[in-house]
Structure 1
Amino acid sequence: MRLRLHLARTVDHDVWRSAREAIPEHRAVVVEVRARGESGWGEAPEFMTSVYSSRLATLIERLRGVESILYSCDPERPELTWARLAPLLTDCPFALGALDVACHDLAARLAGVPLYERLGCPDPTGRRSAYSIGLDEPEAMVAKLPESSDWHMYKVKLGKAGDLDVLRLLRKRTDAPFWLDGNAGWARQDLEAVLGELPSLGVAAIEQPFPVGDRQAQLRAREVSPVPIFADESVTNREEFERHAGDFDGVNVKILKAGGITPSLEILRACRERGVSTMLGCLPESSIGASAAAHLSGMVDHVDVDTIALLATDTGTGIRLDGSGRIGLPDLPGTGFVPDAASEAWVVDPESVVGPVGAGLLGGVTG
């Protein structure tokens, strides 16, 4: 296999905000692996850089560092490729994850089948994604509710107990359940003060209310919470699953945080064996990452791959979401992603984003 790297920069219709940060644009290294005239695609976004070693320059350096290994890897055996790369990229999971996604995509394209079929996963067609509403002023958050209001669940970013007023305003516009996402920004006393109100507001679950290290707060909240509590940042890989999955009612699995499709499937299967509920989530990704994630959505209880519905610019086309969040797959092998060379998302000048990075880095889509 041969490796090509590209840079992409996408933007949402609105600045994306959570309790942790505000993101005006999404920058990513796009991974393309090629063999036998086919390409597989993955992407590694610059997101929570201090936690995931995901600065663009770092991602490029680490990806180039393992490039020579790909030459001798079998494009039809992505799981074996992951096993060779994982020890070298354990501390850089987005680079590992982007490579693994690209290799799985390539293998499915070479086999001429959709990715879900090659993975042995159920057909995800028709599964419904949640729709995410980023943190903002209450009126602005209500305005972000899609005009159709037909999505079956809304994932609402809230930073503190006082933000519950947002749910009350949203409840006037929709009967759909809410998924409350705290992004590790809540204090224990604040959450406990409002737990009793959550069922009447139609809250289906709470995701990662506390910082990763505050295990005692999490255990106490789970004892008294009337709704399930899901892990996000606390359980990102198989090792963390073994240590902490029992602290939560469910886990939001994100492919890049886990280090790829290969370990994500391991976590999802372990969850099923232990009766742990699951959500499949996404990071600030384009149709590259969302399309890959969608192919795993038949494995989970809840789906959150709405990132493409939030984008004003995209890297290309792949899965589709209708007005109620139902997943539709293109009639193509692999993830179904097709790059759009004319899109503004492809960065023309790499140095304007990361500075000098050496020869071989591509700034756009090439043949």
Structure 2
Amino acid sequence: MRLRTHLVRMRDKDVWRCAREEIPEHRAVLVELDADGESGWGEASAFMTAVYNSETDTVVKRLNELDLEGLDPRQPEQTWYRLAHQLDDCPFALAALDVAAHDLAARLAGVPLFEHLGLPVPEGLPSSYSIGLDTVDVMVDKLNRTPGWGLYKVKLAKADDLHVLRALREHTDAPFWVDGNACWQPEALFEVLDELPGLGVIALEQPFAVTEIEGQLAARDRSPVPIFADESVTTPEQVRPAAGRFDGINVKVLKAGGLTPALAMLRECRELGVASMLGCLPESSAGASAAAHIAWLADHVDLDTVALLDIDTGTGARLDDTGRIRLAGGAGTGFVPDWTSPAHEGSGA
């Protein structure tokens, strides 16, 4: 196998905001693995770089240091297990490599990725749509631009910002999934917990910082809606301990370190009776298309990054007007890079 890297820059239709940060532009590394005339594609987003060691120059350097000699392009799991320890401090690089390896293996076999993984077709499964943090009027406008979706994921800066939910509720009957991005205070949430079901909230995601274990336990004991982990659970070994603190886990391929560990996490959630969401980071079609192929294993899906993008790196899986997955077709993930896209302007290989 031969590895190439391509630097890319994407932009959303609206500036991506949550309680933690604002990102006007998304930078990433596209990873290309080729063998026997086929290429597989993965993506490493430069997201929360201080936490995940995911700066693009770091990702490129670490990937280029790898020795791929002797690796079988038809055995992606073996590639992951051989190289994972070399990238354990750089999970997004490992994830991009693993996704590219799975994509390549499926393309060499001439089948879609879900089939290569032995999974049912995810075509038609529904995704949520994220309403990023902004003024109330802008958040209402975002919802009204995407009518008919079955679930809206709402970013709130504070737990008691229920006026935002009330304003959105005037425009939809769909349920809300509320995301605190690890920035809320327990006392503020406790004051409004009982009001959430009446506003159509069906889940809370990562309300508190990872270190706020006592507050999380108290919230789970008192909450009338399930609480899902995001930042608190990123790798397979964290799933079982988290089952005592959370009702569900948002599994993200990049944070997990690839499809190989993400699949293990989703399967363990089922085994433990813990609910799961398959989520995404700010990614292009390269990353989202791979995640879409494993969506059948999750109880909830949040792969709306492709619906939020204004500039993409290529074509792949899409969400229709009601948020349902539409695969690109063909072998592997179906992702095809578009070298004429502005995302590739000034990129290096």
TM-score normalised by L of structure 1? 0.94
8 Å Cα contact 1:19/1:135 also seen in 2 = yes
Q: Kindly provide the amino acid, as one letter, of the partner of residue 238 in structure 2.
A: E
1:65 equivalent in structure 2: 65
- TM alignment of 1:324-343, pairs within 5 A: 324-343=322-341
User: C-alpha offsets along residues 268-289 of structure 1, whole Å, 9 cap, x if unaligned?
Assistant: 1111011000000000000001
Distance 1:82 1:113, change over 3 A: same
- Name the structure 2 match of 1:122: 120
Match of 1:263 in 2: 261
SS at match of 1:230: strand
CA distance in 2, matches of 1:215, 1:81: 35
Asked whether the 8 Å contact 1:127–1:326 carries over to 2, the reply is yes
- For residues 8-61 of structure 1, the C-alpha deviation after alignment (integer angstroms, 9 at most, x for no partner) is 100001110001100000000110000000000000011001110011111111
Tell me what 1:31 maps to: 31
**Other structure's SS at 1:211 match:** coil
CA contact (8 A) 1:235 1:245 kept: no
Instruction: Name the SS for the 1:54 alignment partner.
Output: coil
**How many percent of aligned residue pairs carry the same amino acid?**
63
Note the C-alpha offset of 1:71: 2.8
Establish whether residue 234 from structure 1 lines up as the match of residue 232 from structure 2. yes
User: For the structure 1 residues 43 and 259, does the alpha-carbon distance in structure 2 shift closer, same or farther, using more than 3 Å as the test?
Assistant: same
1:126-275 maps to which residues of 2 (within 5 A)?
126-275=124-273
Amino acid at match of 2:79: T
Matched, 1:16 2:1: no
2:277 partner SS: strand
Distance between the aligned counterparts of 1:236 and 1:137, measured in 2? 30
The residue that corresponds to 2:91 in the other structure is 93
Q: Matched residues in 1 for 2:193 and 2:119: separation?
A: 36
TM-fit CA distance, 1:242: 2.9
Structure 1 consecutive aligned stretches of length 4 or more whose deviation exceeds 3 Å: none
Stretches of structure 2 that go unaligned for 5 or more consecutive residues are none
CA distance in 1, matches of 2:46, 2:271: 33
CA distance in 2, matches of 1:226, 1:162: 16
Distance across 2 between alignment mates of 1:307 and 1:349: 21
| Aligned-partner residue type, residue 223 of structure 1 | D
Cα distance, 1:321 vs. partner? Answer: 0.9
Q: Which moved more, 1:327-336 or 1:140-149?
A: 140-149
Q: Which amino acid aligns with 2:47?
A: F
Count of residue pairs the alignment pairs up: 349
Equivalent residue for 1:277, pick from 266, 275, 278:
275
Query: Cα offset for 1:349?
Result: 4.8
- The Cα shift of 1:146 comes to 4.2
Q: Shift of the alpha carbon at 1:161? A: 2.8
Task: Compute the TM-score of the two structures, normalised by the length of structure 2.
Answer: 0.98
CA distance in 2 between partners of 1:242 and 1:71 (Å): 35
Moved more, 28-37 or 243-252: 243-252
Give the direction of change, closer, same or farther, for the CA distance of 1:327–1:2 in structure 2 (3 Å limit). Answer: same
Between the aligned partners of 2:146 and 2:228, the Cα distance in structure 1 is: 28
Cα offsets for 1:148-171 (capped at 9, x unmatched)? 510000000011034221110110
- Where does residue 2 of structure 2 map in the other structure? 2
Q: Output the CA distance in 2 between the equivalents of 1:35 and 1:43.
A: 18
Q: Which residue identity does 2:157 align to in structure 1?
A: G
The question of whether the paired residues in 2 share the 8 Å contact of 1:132 and 1:155 is answered with yes
Matched position secondary structure for 1:74: coil
Q: Are the equivalent residues in 2 in contact too, given 1:2–1:71 (CA < 8 A)?
A: no
The aligned amino acid for 1:171 is R
Counterpart residue type for residue 97 of structure 2: L
Partner Cα distance (1:190, 1:121) in 2: 42
The letter for the 1-side match of 2:223 is S
Give the CA deviation at 1:341.
Answer: 1.0
**Which one is further off, 128-137 or 340-349?**
340-349
CA distance in 2, matches of 1:255, 1:341: 25
Aligned to 1:355: none
